[in-house]
């Protein structure tokens, strides 16, 4: 206990840590000391080894503590043992071979295919060019998986209606070609024609923004974000209702449709296939839910 008090005084007076931080360190160390007392009877913190520290971390996780909380407590121990090294109380820190638990990455949120179909069926509420624009933006996000910045940067010349492709400029100005379906190609064609009539534009004008505001300026991220959020709010109650959710939705739909991981990587413009792999976890979670719900003898802990 004396060593812990000395450490806390060091944090307060020499390192000028806030009272709240010092209290937090003290609570963590006393909790560890109580664990040692229960495990090894009279063992003190400066006598603990890596195995004991790992055992404490495992006990914390088993008690329902989050990875973030356990890592914070281990960080308190790490700082404490550095102090003991500096004071010559120990020859080597037991924390050298101790690694904290990995934080569980949240799965990407996505919209179910049935909800997307309903949204795309209902979005075109009028035949104006603005109604067409709204429909096409949602459809383009869902059917190509492009990023918000990529959609904003699209020009009319990036759309090839003969080959049914769009040319997208992604991160670090890397370009990629993405195929589009017949329905999207037709809707893009009609939208551009109606837009040109509305503003007296020529489709040969280059570069001409593909998506423009009601005043004729290129759309901007906040404008597109609001449009997407408004539309997704019609069919889902997800906390996140952003263009990025539609990007996740595209990837999930592709993998659920048995697309190769490498193909999805190329379509999305990922640098590494490891980035794309997070969506395989999403689809597997869906499979588990479907299996658990449908099979009479299935029992899967979610």
Asked about 279 being catalytic, the answer comes back as yes
Distance CA 212, CA 100 (A): 49
Asked about 247 being catalytic, the answer comes back as yes
What local confidence, expressed as pLDDT, does residue 299 receive?
54
221 and 178 in a common domain: yes
Q: Of 120, 108, 115, 106, which is closest to residue 268 (Cα–Cα)?
A: 108
Asked about 82 being catalytic, the answer comes back as no
Distance CA 120, CA 231 (A): 9
230 and 84 in a common domain: no
187 and 136 in a common domain: yes
CATH of the domain at 82: 1.10.150.130
267 and 129 in a common domain: yes
Among 147, 241, 248, 265, the one annotated catalytic = 147
| Structural domain ending residue among the three candidates 97, 127, 158 | 97
What number is the average pLDDT over the span 159-181? 91
Confidence of residue 203 (pLDDT cuts 50, 70, 90): low
Asked about 65 being catalytic, the answer comes back as no
Does the pLDDT at position 168 exceed 90? yes
| Structural domain ending residue among the three candidates 49, 68, 97 | 97
Q: Is residue 161 part of a domain?
A: yes
Q: Is residue 103 part of a domain?
A: no
Q: Is residue 290 part of a domain?
A: yes
Cβ count within 10 A of residue 59: 14
Q: Is residue 79 part of a domain?
A: yes
What local confidence, expressed as pLDDT, does residue 302 receive?
46
Does the pLDDT at position 297 exceed 60? no
Cβ count within 10 A of residue 4: 19
Cβ count within 10 A of residue 133: 22
Q: What percent of the chain is predicted at pLDDT more than 70?
A: 87
The string of DSSP letters for 94-152 reads GGGG--PPPPPPPPPP---HHHHHHHHHHS--SSSHHHHHHHHHHHHHHHH---HHHHH
Q: Which SS3 state, helix, strand or coil, does residue 178 take?
A: strand
Among 46, 82, 167, 270, the one annotated catalytic = 270
222 and 140 in a common domain: yes
Q: What's the pLDDT tens digit per position in 12-67?
A: 999 899 999 999 999 999 999 888 888 766 577 888 889 889 989 999 988 888 88
Asked about 35 being catalytic, the answer comes back as no
Q: Is residue 268 part of a domain?
A: yes
Among 135, 247, 248, 265, the one annotated catalytic = 247
236 and 123 in a common domain: yes
132 and 87 in a common domain: no
Among 15, 163, 171, 295, the one annotated catalytic = 171
Bridge partners, 179 (sequence order) = 165
Q: Of 104, 99, 32, which is closest to residue 67 (Cα–Cα)?
A: 104
Among 279, 288, 295, 297, the one annotated catalytic = 279
Strands of the 175-179 sheet, one edge to the other:
159-160, 165-169, 175-179
H/E element, 175: strand 175-179
Asked whether the beta carbons of 154 and 209 are under 8 A apart, the reply is: yes
Q: Is residue 301 part of a domain?
A: no
Does the pLDDT at position 298 exceed 80? no
What local confidence, expressed as pLDDT, does residue 210 receive?
95
- Residue 22 tokens read as 């010092």
130 and 69 in a common domain: no
User: What ranges in 14-66 are assigned the alpha helix state H?
Assistant: 19-40, 50-62
Least confident of 82-96, 162-176, 235-249: 235-249
143 and 92 in a common domain: no
Asked whether the beta carbons of 247 and 144 are under 8 A apart, the reply is: no
Q: Is residue 108 part of a domain?
A: no
Q: Which SS3 state, helix, strand or coil, does residue 197 take?
A: helix
253 and 288 in a common domain: yes
Distance CA 169, CA 154 (A): 8
Q: Of 66, 79, 63, which is closest to residue 29 (Cα–Cα)?
A: 79
- Residue 279 tokens read as 């969506």
How many residues are listed for the chain in this entry?
302
Residue partners of 138: CB distance under 8 A and separation at least 6: 119, 120, 123, 227, 228, 231, 246
Among 44, 72, 244, 288, the one annotated catalytic = 244
| Structural domain ending residue among the three candidates 97, 129, 144 | 97
127 and 275 in a common domain: yes
Reported pTM:
0.62
CATH of the domain at 168: 1.10.443.10
- Top pLDDT among 33 and 239 is at 33
What number is the average pLDDT over the span 180-193? 93
Cα 92 to its chain centre, rounded Å, is 39
Asked about 270 being catalytic, the answer comes back as yes
- Residue 229 tokens read as 């959020």
Task: Report how many domains make up the chain.
Answer: 2
Q: Is residue 7 part of a domain?
A: yes
Q: Which domain holds residue 80?
A: 2-97
221 and 154 in a common domain: yes
């Amino acid at each position: 206990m004396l060593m812990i008090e000395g450490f806390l005084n060091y944090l307060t007076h020499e390192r000028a840590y806030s009272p709240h931080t010092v209290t937090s360190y003290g609570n963590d160390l006393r909790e560890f000391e109580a664990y040692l007392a229960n495990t090894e009877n009279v063992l003190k913190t400066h006598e603990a080894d890596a195995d004991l520290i790992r055992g404490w971390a495992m006990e914390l996780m088993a008690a329902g503590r989050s990875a973030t909380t356990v890592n914070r407590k281990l960080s308190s121990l790490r700082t404490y043992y550095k102090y003991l090294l500096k004071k010559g109380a120990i020859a080597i820190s037991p924390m050298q071979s101790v690694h904290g638990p990995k934080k569980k990455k949240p799965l990407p949120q996505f919209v179910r295919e049935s909800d997307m179909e309903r949204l795309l069926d209902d979005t075109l509420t009028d035949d104006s060019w603005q109604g067409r624009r709204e429909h096409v933006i949602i459809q383009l996000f869902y059917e190509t998986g492009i990023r918000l910045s990529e959609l904003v940067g699209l020009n009319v010349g990036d759309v090839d209606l003969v080959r049914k492709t769009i040319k997208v400029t992604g991160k670090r100005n890397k370009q990629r070609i993405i195929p589009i379906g017949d329905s999207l190609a037709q809707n893009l064609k009609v939208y551009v024609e109606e837009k040109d009539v509305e503003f007296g534009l020529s489709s040969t004008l280059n570069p001409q923004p593909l998506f423009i505001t009601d005043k004729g300026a290129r759309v901007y991220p906040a404008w597109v974000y609001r449009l997407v959020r408004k539309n997704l709010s019609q069919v889902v109650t997800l906390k996140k209702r952003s263009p990025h959710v539609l990007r996740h939705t595209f990837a999930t739909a592709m993998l659920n449709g048995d697309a190769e991981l490498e193909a999805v990587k190329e379509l999305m413009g990922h640098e590494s296939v490891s980035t794309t792999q997070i969506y395989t976890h999403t689809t597997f979670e869906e499979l588990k839910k479907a299996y658990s719900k449908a099979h009479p003898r299935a029992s899967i802990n979610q």
